[in-house]
Amino acid sequence: MSAARAINTNGIKVVPLSAHIGAEIHGVDLTRPLAAEHVAAIRAALLKWRVVFFREQFLTHEQHVAFSAQFGKPTLGHPVFGHVEGHREIYSISKFRKATRFEGQPLLRPWTGWHTDVTAAVNPPFASILRGVTIPPYGGDTQWTNLVVAYEKLSAPLRGFIDGLRGIHRFTAPVGASATDAFEQAVKERSLVSEHPLVRVHPETGERALYVSPSFLKSIVCLTPRESQALLDLLWEHVTRPEFTVRFKWEKGSVAFWDNRSTAHLAPSDIFDLEFDRQLYRTTLVGDIPLGPDGRASVAIEGSPVDAAAAVELN
């Protein structure tokens, strides 16, 4: 690794992976409590690189939650699909995903798609932390895109037009996809729908991000259905341009930590063409209610804000 590419901060090394997004962090042991200056350095790298990666961190569920809690309040595993039994903050992301709230019924989704986590909630988690446990020998990479640089690369007139727009985010299967009964039941019982600005002001950096979570954003308010679809197609194609993205090859013990206020990511679908298993676990951290450039906050249409796991009564 070239020394010029690596940035040393408080004894840890941050190695950028692409022009606009993604850095690997070396020199920390995530199984133990971190020094305050290491928490600050990781947080600074997260704000700059949007997603940071660690290697060879063989965390237990408890260590995963303890690491996460140094950066915010862990939420329940997933507000709609539940959590790993006995670990209320952990969400299981496996190739054959099960709805833990429905006695292990399959949630198998033959679709995948670019998205930002849980944007159907009025306060989507500000960050997600995913760790790899069973990793296929090839295939199964995850990609992230930088929504701030995507916004900045739009023309000024288009930025001006979308700055005042708002979109409806809903937790449903994409048009044309068929969901399992467990998926439909979970989504019906815990319906989540919110209106968010199309451009979100990052609460820590003040940057504007193109807040268009492709899988959950269904329509743009005040536009005709045809205008809404045409504009969404343009913006979705734009945010996933390869030059705004980074692609991560998982290993057992890899951890990815990303900022949901400025990124979208793509879960792999190639794993369904391979016989190998894939098992990861995720925590998410309580987020605030997004604000647009005009200062207008997001609004919940259905469902409650996502709270800290510790504050949620389980039923």
* Residues with catalytic roles: 115, 117, 265, 282
Residue 313: CB minimum distance to ligand SIN, A? 25
Q: Which is nearer to ligand SIN, 154 or 264 (CB)?
A: 264
Q: Which is nearer to ligand SIN, 128 or 145 (CB)?
A: 128
Q: Which is nearer to ligand SIN, 167 or 268 (CB)?
A: 268
Nearest CB to ligand SIN, comparing residues 208 and 211: 211
Q: How far is the CB of 257 from ligand SIN (least distance, A)?
A: 12
Residues of this chain, 85-104, that bind ligand SIN according to CB under 6 A: 93
3 state SS for the chain: CCCCCCEEECCEEEEECCCCCCEEEECCCCCCCCCHHHHHHHHHHHHHHCEEEECCCCCCHHHHHHHHCCCCCEECCECCCECECCECCCEEEECCCEEHHHCCEECCCCCCCEECCCCCCCCCCCEEEEEEEECCCCCCCEEEEEHHHHHHCCCHHHHHHHCCCEEEEECCCCCCCCCCHHHHHHHHHCCCEEEEECEEECCCCCCEEECCCCCCEEEECCCCHHHHHHHHHHHHHHHCCHHHEEEECCCCCCEEEEECCCEEEECCCHHHHCCCCCEEEEEEECCCCCECCCCCECEEEECCCCCEHHHCCCC
Is 282 a residue that touches ligand SIN (CB under 6 A)? yes
Selected binder of ligand SIN within 142, 180, 215, 262 (CB under 6 A): 142
Cα→Cα distances 304→122, 161, 187, 289, Å? 8, 30, 13, 12
Least separation in angstroms between residue 280's CB and ligand SIN is 6
The region of 51-59, 193-201, 260-268, 307-315 touching ligand SIN under the rule CB under 6 A is 260-268
- Binding-site residue total for ligand SIN (CB under 6 A)? 10
CB of 19 to ligand SIN, least distance (A): 22
Residue 285 interacts with ligand SIN (CB under 6 A): yes or no: no
Q: Does 107 bind ligand SIN (CB under 6 A)?
A: no
CB of 261 to ligand SIN, least distance (A): 15
| Nearest CB to ligand SIN, comparing residues 283 and 298 | 283
133 touching ligand SIN, by CB under 6 A = no
Residues of the shown chain interacting with ligand SIN in the complex, contacts defined by CB under 6 A? 93, 117, 128, 130, 142, 265, 267-268, 280, 282
